[in-house]
Structure 1
Amino acid sequence: MNPPADARVARAWALKEACYEAWSRDPTQAAAAARELAELRCDDLPAREAALVRGLGRWTAGIADVTQGQMAEAVAAFDDAQRALGEAGEADAAAQTQVPKIMALSMLGQHEAAAACAQAAQQALRALGNLAAAGRVSLNLGGLLLRRDAYAQAARHYREAAVLFARRSDHQHSVLADLGLAAALSSMGDFDEALRIYARARVRAQRHDLRQSLAMIDESVALVQLARGQYDTALQGMESARRGFEALGLPHWTAVAEKQLADTYLELRLLPEALALFDAAIQRFRTLALPEDEAFALAQRGRALALRGRREASRDSFQAAAERFAVQAHEVGQASVQLALAELALAQGDAAGALQQAQAAAAALARSGHAEGATRAAVLRAEALAAAAPPDGPEASAARSVARGAYEAALADARLRGQLPAQVRCLSGLGLLTWAESRAGEAAAAFEAAIDLLEDQRRALPGDEFRSAFLTDQLLPYRARLRLALADGDAADVLTQLERYRARSLADRLAGADTPLADADPALRERVNWLARRVRRLQEDGEPSAALEADLRAAEHQLLESARRARLAGGAAAASAADARFDPAALQAGLAPGEALVEYGALDGELFAVVVRADRLVLQRALATEADVVRSVQSARLQLDAQQQADVRLAAHQAQIAGRMQQRLRQLHQQLWAPLAASLAGATQVLIVPHGPLASLPFAALPADARPGDAQPGDAPEALGHRLVLAQAASAQAALHGLRHAHRVPRHAVVIGESSALPWADAEARTVAACYPSADLLVGAAASCAALEAAAPAADVLHLACHAQFRADSPRFSALHLADGPMTVERAERLPLAAGLVVLSACDTALADEAAGDEQVGLVRAFLVAGAARVLAALWPVRDDVTAAFMAHFHAALQCGQTAGEALRAAQVALARSHPQPCHWAAFTLFGGW
């Protein structure tokens, strides 16, 4: 039996009020109220009451649609509600249904219709004397104007609404008015006042439990911090907002927050991660029919694609964004595409094209008053002017003067608003212009100011993944400062400047400045492991695995992203990163008289080196061109591969291949080692810090001495690694870390042999374990990741004989394959290792991803981060039987009291007697120290 008509009407009104009340507190309750009202029977009611209940039902349905991002459905529902309530004689309620319709139309990009709706609703409500509802029209009209980039007009409407709501103690709408006002002020560049208003709004939103408003405040503050380059707080705020919207069941707002997190990833140059989020956001906005949001995501996706080198795809994305902005006559959106195209033109060397696009964008942004975009356009204009200036001649000085004026004006604006990224670019540009005018002191001061700002930004970032990606695209002032040091010829300053950007994230981790990403999702981890095992089995059986590999890549990305989000949600401040200024004297103090460090560097195509001894530092310029050395290294690696093939299939050509191999090695000796002979005189132990591709070179295989030009190609001179104790480090800071961990004779070993793919691994593991007075031997099913994690902390030596895989597509998932799945880079970093020795007796374990700044991600780095003092790893695949023999020599030497470096040399010398070709005995390299 249905309740009486009056009771049902009263219930309908109560449910409508409950829906509105829950809108900002708990949108799921708003939707629940709408569902109950929709189910309230009205067909047996009198016509007026039936129309009233239907109208209230459609009104609340529209509110529920808005919370779900279904704006077209919401518009239809509000119109239905207006008609039904009009039929019921409820003129005031009918007019009120059009208030939220303004926002829905604006979100759909139907701005003229939204403006007309606002004007009509405003007139109707004022005529009816409903000033409170008229205030809500002002609130939504402010939102419409904000989306149309009419910031000053939007601010006026928000202020009017805020006053009205405050007088009526309407806390929910008063907070929303403050949020709109702060957003308008932020767009106009008044960041400080915007942040003050957001802080005031947060206090009131917390007091009245306005959870949606709290998430909106997190998002809005994060956007201000993103504009200012405060990436740490921007990241945390974006993730907090996303979680808030997700918990409230607001798919549109969640998608916007995801897109804005992608914007932050883009600025930090986490490009694959940003692209994945942009792609998902674009699809979501398209599904929800939200063209403006889709257009902005397309424009940002284009920028990310351009930075990834996918220029055709980026232009397609820009074109799609421009078309959508044009349909909506969205001037700021169109200007954002022009700025992106200016960036692309400048990167391609088209200074004139960049200048044209930047100036067009600047004019549009000036008309709208969009301050952050205007500053970005001004910086791009200055960069284009500087790039277009001739290097010399009568016009050069005048052109540089114009560019300098543009930089100084942009810098002043950026400082006024606290926009750090713009300041860095302006200071770097001014430094380059000043250096071109031979004012080295002023140039150095500009570069140092830029570096100080970058270091402040970088130091605050939550984790080495963010820090490393950020620094990769910010090297201009660092390299410019290095260029000045090279020009002065000061070896200590050259080393200091080189170390400011070389493997900095590794230095942070070794200094204890960060912890690994948490394993945030065990179920996802297990899925990744299952997929990895399945893909490996299919590959071993020669069966197709492309579909499963795609699933694996997606699951890996999801696993890393979930860990990243967990770190951001934690909100803990990042630990202090390692000091950017390296002290060469500290390194010298750690070296004995017979020890040396050689650090290679490259700039402007020139390869150079700094030799560090206890009593001196020597700068050796112009060793060779970087391009020539890269070709020599690539050629040498090809000959090493050919030697391995000759063992199996090309035995008749062994002598010829060996001759070519020796020629390449002599060439590399002349380029890399011979010029350093005087500086290295008397050294018996040398730590090598390679540059870029040199990290893949077996320095031990180079000839120990220069050979005369008429030497026979097949001659095999004494190798460098047979005469000297050699080791490698990613940077001088990493080398100093290793030197501070003195060698100790190992007593307890943890030895793992996983032989399902490597028949010799089990036997090798047993031989190695027998070398130690105390050893945990883990073979067969016991050779598992779980067993490794349990046993590793007690090991002086950790030896892993197993199959390995380097993943160039995703270096953090390079792995050692054990009995229960892969021990990946990102998992190995979490091993609590003692400061001992790790031996990676597997193929390609020394390979790493080569990023700018020589930040190399791979298995060696993972074990160093986990706490190992030294890691022995292979630069290329080596025969199992040869590796087993090599390891027997190596561990026996360790047990005789030799250091890891000495044991490596002893094993190489011993193995070279039976296997003289470098492809056999020179594969293993020691990382971290001797």
Structure 2
Amino acid sequence: MLAVRRAGALYRRGRKAVYAYTFARARALLGEAVAVLDSAPEQNAPEVVELRVRVLVTLAYAETEGSSITTGIKRLSEADELLDELPVGPRRTELAGLSVEQRGFLHIRAGNTELGLELLDEAARRLRAGLAEGAGDPYVLASLYLNRSLAQIERSQTNAAIAELDTCIELCEKYELHDIAIKARHNRGYVAHMTGDVPTALRYFAETSRDCQERAPSMLPVVQLDQARALLAGGLVDEAARHLDDALPRLRRQRVGQDAAEAEIARAAAALLHGDAAQARRRARRSERMFTRRGNERWASVAALAALRADTLTALDGDRARPVKIQTKQRNGIHVPRALPATAVRLAEQLRGLLLEDEAALALMLAVRLQIHRGDLAAATELLDQVPKPRVTTPVDHRMLLRLCRAELAVATQDTRGALAEARAGLTELGRARDRMGGLELMCGTAVHGRQLGDMAVRLVLEHQRPDARRLFGWLERTRAQVYRYEPMPDIADPRMAEKATELRLAKRTAQLVRLAGRSAEKLEQQTATLEREVARQGWYASPWGKPRPVATLEAVGPALDGRVLVSFATSDDDLVAVVVAGTGAKMVRLGSAVEAAEWAARLHADLDVLAPDTLPPPIVEVVKTSAARSAGGLDRQLIQPLLPLIGDRDLVIVPTGALYAVPWGSLPSLWGRPIVVAPSATAWLSAATGSAPRGRTVLARGPMLTGLVAEEGPLREIYPEAVALDGDHATVAGVLSALDGAELAHLAAHGEHEPTNALFSRLELADGPLFAYELSRLRQPPRQVVLAACELALNYVRPGDEALGYAGALLASGVRTVIAATSRVGDESAATAMVTYHRSLTAGVAPARALAASIAEDPYRRPFICLGAG
């Protein structure tokens, strides 16, 4: 029959469009199939009835995604009425199972999980029976197991979800059902994300993404949505936001209502982590309206919770510049509306009624914080008692919020010891989550979830009538620069990553040449951005970075200083303080406004950038040097002079904070000629100072486009006559990496560029393209010392938790004991003369920090180098 053949072809194309998430096209094709069947001469013929049932069942899903579940259920009811027209037998059993399976899935998508599971159980029995009798489609049965896994995921039953997915994948492999297999592996990643295994989740999502690009590109936005959720769990907020901003327009074009609305909630979460409550609220309310139109009460409630989080942030942290001091009545200067905690409690009850336990707990915790800040401690205590104990699948940010609620309540009742105990337990728990992460970026990102707990602990110590410097030192070490306390593990070679890195290097070099030729490199830049994301993702699901070392104690640091003094700077709100450690003792000094210090540091950095060019006319040099001296003097008066009675003329180990990472300490007048080591934390310094490192060859590598005697030419060749020298066409990425592995000293003279959006893509330019920071960070035996002689690649990108990560940071984290680098731009000639002086002292047996101090003192404003690590 011609009508059946035409309708059948349309049905197959429509079903393919559904599984490709192109629902508008699916509705058009399936609607046309219905119209063709309406024209069939024999409406009651079994083949016409059977095909109409299949079309209606598939159309139910496509129409639900475009409107509401009511529309889809109506189509399924039409299909069920037709079943009585078919003879009893395997085919009718199979079609009945197909209809029940779709009905169950629609209920799951609408949030009616328990009813959906019951329907899927019934459908599974019918479909298996039909398949056993030789009738039925294994595609439908595999889809059923996939949908059951979604229901189990909604119920947080991870083991059950994995069992359903394994059964689905087994069927897919048996019957070569590639597109469903892609979705099943994707859901395995989602289950890993639920249990906190972010690297495994990202690995599954990356595999799914590659499969989608080859077989089902329209599924990519859904993959991006779940990737973004995992990235948010890992604290990579910017990367998550980019995924969602890319996925949302595609989901809207495909008219995938459910996933588009879920993506809005995830984007609201990213905005919230950035402190943008207005955007978070706007997106959450939009999502709530979308779910309400779809008749999905469960997800509408989740969206309402996202909006409540934004309202809570506005109420509690509306002016983030103000001091945050919890009082027994109300927080200073911030009014918490009476209705807001009541709204949170009502929403918690609604979420609990919908069996959303984690979400209900979150709403209760928001109510707890609001009542604390209103001063109603009795209500806060009562609500806190109702918050259930976290489950295995409870997200790490929810766990940290529970700790914060307990700590804030303790503060409000003057139980400082209890508050600090909660902060300590929370940060320990967060540390266990960090230990599971792969790659530096994820390890750094995790700190965002403990930021409020750490800030509270530091603030409590400082607000004590007699602040204890020893206790403050301990909390600073517990809260900052945790990535540097890991002992790196040997690299596991990843051919795919190496291949992508080579492609990226070639694209970067080609784009550079095109720009130099005066042509547009826009397409090449888009290609490099795509490759950068691919290489970065490889690092996310790599093996764990390393084995964690214990946080350094004052008792361990003091003796290791061996006559030096350690100065650890810290801020709380606008208060800047320094903990000065000498021997086994510690003292705290208040240093005024953190904002003022940051302004001086920014001015000095700008002055030194202007001063960098070698060809600057002498009159301008003098003017800029005068300005630089004024900025350096301002910093000196605020940061160093108050400490002089404690530090005397001794060598220093400085642990900066925030904007102070950009300070070239050797340019401050009180520190001219003084040996100084800069470290991300005392723990990082102790690890570098006491660690082992190779001794042996020296490597001199010179990149292109340098004008001075920065590397192997002239004096440095004389100083190191037996060094491995790589220049010109020999200074390739592969050649330099090979020479660096196992070297004692590496002098890398090459222009570089810092990448603020992804510090591991900061780079040095070599003969055949950029040498990225992440490549150096994976050396099996990193050099003892690396000198970055011609670029500003010191620790100058600071993430939450005072995690300073960049080119130098990646080197320190990978096991390099000492890094010499500049904090601002430096001219080639200035770098050349500074390095000749430095290396001559080094070969005379002078320690790196002392050798660098003598070199900087000759011209402190044009040699903005610092010694990082051990010194």
TM range (shorter): 0.7 to 0.9
Q: 1:158 to 1:386 in 2, by over 3 A?
A: farther
Are residue 476 (structure 1) and residue 452 (structure 2) matched?
yes
Which secondary structure does the structure 2 equivalent of 1:823 belong to?
strand
TM-score by length of 2: 0.85
Identity of aligned residues (%): 21
Query: CA offset at residue 141 of structure 1?
Result: 0.4
Deviation at 1:333, TM superposition (A): 3.9
Q: CA deviation at 1:620?
A: 0.9
3-state SS in 1 of match to 2:756:
coil
Residue in structure 2 matching 1:532, options 469, 486, 508: 508
SS in 2 for 1:770: helix
User: Quick one: distance in 1 between partners of 2:616 and 2:282?
Assistant: 49
Instruction: Provide closer, same or farther for how the CA distance between residues 163 and 624 of structure 1 changes in structure 2, counting only shifts above 3 A.
Output: same
The letter for the 2-side match of 1:378 is L
Deviation at 1:431, TM superposition (A): 1.0
What residue in structure 1 maps to residue 45 of structure 2?
89
Change (3 A) 1:354 1:192: farther
Deviations for 1:386-417, whole angstroms, at most 9, x for unmatched residues?
34x1xxxxxx2xx12222333332344x4486
Residue 102 of structure 1 corresponds to which residue in structure 2? 60
Q: What pairs up with 1:360-759 in 2 under 5 angstroms?
A: 361-362=347-348, 365-366=351-352, 368-387=354-373, 389=374, 396=375, 399-412=376-389, 414-415=390-391, 418-486=394-462, 487=464, 489-508=467-486, 511-513=487-489, 515=491, 520=496, 524-526=500-502, 528-533=504-509, 536=512, 543=518, 548=521, 551-552=524-525, 554-566=526-538, 574=544, 577-579=547-549, 581-592=551-562, 594-613=563-582, 615-640=583-608, 648-649=616-617, 651=619, 654=622, 661-681=628-648, 684-704=650-670, 720-722=671-673, 724-741=674-691, 748-754=697-703, 756=705, 758-759=706-707
Identify if the C-alpha distance between structure 1 residues 338 and 831 changes in structure 2 by more than 3 Å, giving closer, same or farther: same
CA shift in 2, pair 1:743/1:770, >3 Å = farther
The answer to whether the Cα contact below 8 Å between 1:341 and 1:357 also exists between their aligned partners in 2 is no
Query: Aligned letter for 1:893?
Result: S
C-alpha deviations, 1:659-682, integer Å up to 9, x for none?
Answer: 66555444433432334344435x
Contact 1:56 1:85 in 2 (8 A): no
Check conservation: 1:241, 1:257, Cα contact below 8 A.
yes
Quote how far apart the aligned CAs of 1:539 are: 6.3
Listed one character per residue, the Cα deviations across residues 908-928 of structure 1 (whole Å, up to 9, x for unaligned) are 34xx2xx5xx2124x121111
1:43 is matched with none
The 1:221–1:825 alpha-carbon spacing in structure 2 relative to 1, beyond 3 Å, is closer
Instruction: Identify the residue that residue 714 of structure 1 maps to in structure 2.
Output: none
Q: In structure 2, what is the equivalent of residue 158 of structure 1?
A: 120
Equivalence for 2:326 = none
Q: CA deviation at 1:284?
A: 3.0
**Deviation, structure 1 residue 434:** 0.8
Q: Distance in 2 between matches of 1:889 and 1:339?
A: 61
RMSD: 3.7
Q: Structure 1 pair 384/311, CA: closer, same or farther in 2 (3 Å)?
A: closer
Does structure 2 conserve the Cα–Cα contact (< 8 Å) formed by 1:596 and 1:686? yes
CA 1:847/1:219 → structure 2, altered by over 3 Å: closer, same or farther? closer
Which residue matches 2:17?
65
| Partner AA of 1:929 in structure 2 | A
The 1:742/1:185 distance shift into structure 2, 3 A limit, reads: closer
Task: Determine if contact 2:759/2:806 at 8 Å carries over to the other structure.
Answer: yes
* Separation in structure 1 between the aligned mates of residue 67 and residue 346 of structure 2, nearest angstrom: 24
SS for the counterpart of 2:548 is coil
Specify the alignment match of 2:324 in structure 1.
Answer: none
- Alignment of 1:897 with 2:845, yes or no, is yes
Distance in 1 (CA, whole Å) between partners of 2:612 and 2:210 is 54
Q: Provide Cα deviations, 1:831-861, integer angstroms capped at 9, x if missing partner.
A: 4554322221113232521212222222212
1:660–1:285 distance in 2 versus 1, CA, 3 Å: closer
Q: Give the secondary structure class of the aligned counterpart of 2:571.
A: strand
Residues 777, 430 of structure 1: alpha-carbon distance in 2 compared, 3 angstrom cutoff: same
Quote the Cα distance in structure 2 between the aligned partners of 1:463 and 1:777: 31
**Structure-2 residue corresponding to 1:271:** 237
Change (3 A) 1:482 1:53: same
Mapped to 2, the partners of 1:240 and 1:532 lie a distance apart of 25
Query: Is contact 1:61-1:74 (8 Å) kept?
Result: yes
Paired residues of 2:491 and 2:779 also in contact (CA < 8 A): no
Q: Secondary structure at the match of 1:500?
A: helix
What CA distance in whole angstroms lies between the structure 2 residues aligned with 1:338 and 1:135? 36
| SS in structure 1 of the partner of residue 479 of structure 2 | coil
1:337–1:776 distance in 2 versus 1, CA, 3 Å: same
Task: Supply the AA of the counterpart residue of 1:813.
Answer: F
Report the 3-state secondary structure (helix = DSSP H, G, I; strand = E; otherwise coil) of the residue aligned with 1:499.
helix
Secondary structure at 1:752 match in 2: strand
**Separation in structure 1 between the aligned mates of residue 179 and residue 567 of structure 2, nearest angstrom:** 58
- 1:102-121, aligned counterparts within 5 Å? 102-121=60-79
| Structure 1 segment 222-241 matched on structure 2, within 5 A | 222-227=189-194, 229-241=196-208
Cα distance in 1 for residues equivalent to 2:612 and 2:165: 66
Contact 2:762 2:807 in 1 (8 A): yes
Q: 2:810 is matched by which residue type in structure 1?
A: A
In the alignment, the residues of structure 2 paired with residue 182 and residue 819 of structure 1 have an alpha-carbon distance, to the nearest angstrom, of: 51
1:835 maps to 783
Distance 1:502 1:333 in 2: 37
Deviates more, 1:332-341 or 1:513-522: 513-522
Cα distance, 1:75 vs structure 2: 2.4
Distance in 2, Cα, partners of 1:384 & 1:625 = 29
> How much does 1:432 deviate?
1.3
Identify if the C-alpha distance between structure 1 residues 591 and 881 changes in structure 2 by more than 3 Å, giving closer, same or farther: same
Checking the alignment, whether the CA contact within 8 Å between 1:640 and 1:661 is kept in structure 2 is yes
Q: Provide the rounded CA distance (Å) in 1 between the counterparts of 2:696 and 2:51.
A: 85
Whichever of the two has the greater Rg, that structure is: 1
Q: 2:150: which partner in 1?
A: 183
3-state SS of paired residue (1:844): coil
Which residue number in structure 1 is paired with residue 754 of structure 2? Answer: 806
The DSSP-based 3-state class of the residue aligned with 2:669 is coil
For 2:232 and 2:41, the matched residues in 1 are separated by: 48
Which letter does structure 2 place at the counterpart of 1:137? S
**Larger RCO of the pair (alpha carbons < 8 Å, separation 6+):** 2
Show structure 2 runs of 5+ residues with no match: 133-137, 319-335
Paired with 1:538 and 1:201, the residues of 2 have a C-alpha distance of 49
Distance in 2, matches of 1:268 and 1:403, equals 30
**Would the aligned equivalents of 1:52 and 1:88 in 2 still touch at CA under 8 Å?**
no
Provide Cα deviations, 1:64-102, integer angstroms capped at 9, x if missing partner: 333333421452255257444954712651453233332
Deviations 1:545-588 (A, max 9, x none): 7x536742x4344224323444567xx75365414633333333
State the distance in 2 between where 1:512 and 1:894 align: 27
Residues in 2 aligned to 1:646 and 1:340: alpha-carbon distance in whole angstroms: 54
Contact 1:520 1:562 in 2 (8 A): no
1:730 partner SS = coil
**CA distance 1:383–1:834, change in 2 (3 Å):** same
- Change in CA separation of 1:86 and 1:227 when aligned onto 2, cut-off 3 Å: farther
Q: Please, what TM-score do these two structures have when normalized by structure 1?
A: 0.80
3-state SS of paired residue (2:677): strand
Residue number among 261, 266, 287 corresponding to 1:295 in the alignment: 261
Question: Aligned partner of 1:408: which letter?
Answer: D
**Equivalent residue of 2:544, what SS?**
coil
